[in-house]
Structure 1
């Protein structure tokens, strides 16, 4: 009887899904005859492009206004920096995350700072800003990063470099590295993912799956599809629920352990400081998940894209090494100030994220009818997306060499210089500017410098262009397989950054 009931349920779900698909197809064919919507529905864009982001970039490059509309998604996508400034600053209140976005990510991110607007957002941002701005928390972050580099990352890669004909997945290594760092910094918990045995973390796997499946919700032509699957707890929604359950279990255990330790003021981790201000377990759970997403996935994604580029740019690698040696005069880096003086390295990081931003696009929902600076009318309730990946490939912003990896574009007389962040919204811009920006930059620069000073790195498949997996952050579908060898005849110091 149970088997029969299950069969009936599955038939019903398939029927509902068919009806939804038919309605979407009918609306596309009858109400929208444009080529863009047809290409999206049929995935015919994939005949010419490996990645959806590259297809969007192509469409935006050929749009007179650098703005397009995907009717079946009710989504206006732009790469015009004036539109970005308008959304993120001039008319900020009219372009919140919106209920649609919160619904898509609500099961995973809850009421965390990346998924809320209004007072919830203001309160969390103010609290995070106060804590992250303290020198004591910055000092703790730097210590965690450098310990992980010196005692785990370098020994792991050094041991691997001695193996013959070995190929190492740098993307996997960077995800493990950033996961260890964010857990130790934020929660005082050490998952030891970067141990030489490279243990698999069930939490990391569950977190990746939750991120991927949540992102897939946003790609459906109608929210009815995933909502029906969630209602009946089948397919991708069943797997999402299971992965979120494991993530929640971890968050609850971390919070329980922090509570067990008692007075939070004696502990350096960021969660303990937040717990000093609130005891709401649901709110703290959402903070834990937000920290993981911000501190792990974005850093790992940035490093993966950067090293894919650097492995093909020996002259850039040589320039990074030369700048570091000149700045330190063959001594180790002893202060954060010295790291800040490496202007070329800073330019390399910015240039890498211009071409491979860790978050390829960001969406808002229009509250009231509006018109963007480029003349595009936006109807109330429309999803409006600025596409950072496409913006990094716009001649109108970066010139005819926009596809060339060129760190020098960020330098003026040898000093790092950034144009308006609305042309480069990798760290967002305006009122939602990333609070962890400076910490992320120090982490990225420390890893790049440490690895390039010790190792020569080459791609295992140099002719293979990146293909991205669906997710909240950019992930190379095939990883980043590299071959690594220790540099010979070098007397390079061990870079160490402190706050002294």
Structure 2
């Protein structure tokens, strides 16, 4: 992973990780960043995603909703991370150079990571041919572009002494992080975190609710009880929608498998000996389907398993699960910093899209799409749908 992620937060340990975590944690907990994220998501939703879907509905076009959601998420995370708009979700669906290179780098580094015979890619890298040549070109493209943005932002900061923008890059630079490679590594990691995860979660969510109309109706009723453009506090109160997203990610976690490496000899609670340097993987995809954890009805899509009804008010209360039972956002010291931000973004998209449109898969009802896993989950071949305007 190092050629792509460098010393970014996902690829380091010890003091370098601890330092990045502290800096990022501080920034993620500021109200100004939350407000900025809200503004960015709302603009992308109202100015790009909704108009695109309205045209698709009017023209009765089949669209790849997975691709559209990836474009939406990529625009959002680039604005949040860099203050840069790649304009990837325009009506023409452009092939933005940076986005395409990023996708290629993710795919090929994932193949490296999962290779059964790692010496093969190492030989290819040494002689610079085949997939390794493609990988080097894609990574160079991503890093050069990111570095250029860092330089421009640094120049702007030097001229102004303080930046108007509140994107993550501006924040890191304005508190004195001037090492170009270090800041580039950090920002590339955040793009990876924000681009693929929310779009993967939403892709599977929209497919699941198309298969469960009763759940969709309950979500719609909740959406209609909120204002047209719900503010943060209203989004936070969308309890049933929140439960539906959690249930969807139980079946289809955006990161289906995650790996740690033992820093020293260890023994797991069940007595398994783990030698220093051994890679140990845990599997949220399998865990979400285990009756030991979720009961005999694990195979039912039931948002209610996350809810408890208040007998006095009749309102739903959300019941949080133990993060080690449901490690979709990791657990322990590395639990996802962007969890709240991700739910905010996903619930705004769900509210904005479902209030106005019905998403109808073009595949045969009851046929489950094929789940594939790179670093993050994908729907094989895309998610082809038609968009229908709802009767108001």
Normalising by structure 2, report the TM-score.
0.94
CA contact (8 A) 2:371 2:377 kept: yes
After TM superposition, list the pairs within 5 Å mapping 1:291-440 onto structure 2.
Answer: 291-326=190-225, 328=226, 331-413=227-309, 414-440=316-342
Matched, 1:141 2:141: no
Matched, 1:163 2:59: yes
- Deviation of 1:368 after TM superposition, in Å, equals 2.3
Runs of 4+ in 1 over 4 A off after TM superposition: none
- Deviation of 1:468 after TM superposition, in Å, equals 3.8
CA contact (8 A) 1:167 1:483 kept: yes
* Cα RMSD for the two superposed structures: 1.3
Choose which of 227, 238, 245 in structure 1 pairs with 2:122. Answer: 227
After TM superposition, list the pairs within 5 Å mapping 1:121-270 onto structure 2.
Answer: 121-164=17-60, 166-262=61-157, 263-270=161-168
SS state at 2:87 partner = coil
Deviates most, 131-140 or 371-380 = 371-380
Partners of 2:318 and 2:200 in 1: how far apart?
23
CA contact (8 A) 2:64 2:382 kept: yes
Partners of 1:339 and 1:377 in 2: how far apart?
46
State the partner residue of 1:14. none
Deviates most, 376-385 or 280-289 = 376-385
- Deviation of 1:469 after TM superposition, in Å, equals 4.2
- Deviation of 1:160 after TM superposition, in Å, equals 0.8
Deviates most, 425-434 or 367-376 = 367-376
State the partner residue of 1:480. 383
SS state at 1:113 partner = coil
CA contact (8 A) 1:302 1:356 kept: yes
Partners of 2:55 and 2:16 in 1: how far apart?
47
- Deviation of 1:292 after TM superposition, in Å, equals 1.0
- Deviation of 1:373 after TM superposition, in Å, equals 1.3
SS state at 2:386 partner = strand
State the partner residue of 2:312. none
- Deviation of 1:334 after TM superposition, in Å, equals 4.4
Partners of 1:355 and 1:183 in 2: how far apart?
28
SS state at 1:273 partner = helix
- Deviation of 1:259 after TM superposition, in Å, equals 1.7
Matched, 1:460 2:362: yes
- Deviation of 1:143 after TM superposition, in Å, equals 0.4
- Structure 1 gaps, min length 5: 1-104, 491-500
Matched residue count: 381
State the partner residue of 1:272. 170
- Deviation of 1:470 after TM superposition, in Å, equals 4.7
- Deviation of 1:172 after TM superposition, in Å, equals 0.4
- Deviation of 1:436 after TM superposition, in Å, equals 0.6
CA contact (8 A) 1:457 1:485 kept: yes
Normalising by structure 1, report the TM-score.
0.74
Deviations 1:243-282 (A, max 9, x none): 1011012101211221221234432211011012211011
SS state at 2:329 partner = coil
- Structure 2 gaps, min length 5: 310-315
Partners of 1:242 and 1:468 in 2: how far apart?
28
- Deviation of 1:477 after TM superposition, in Å, equals 2.0
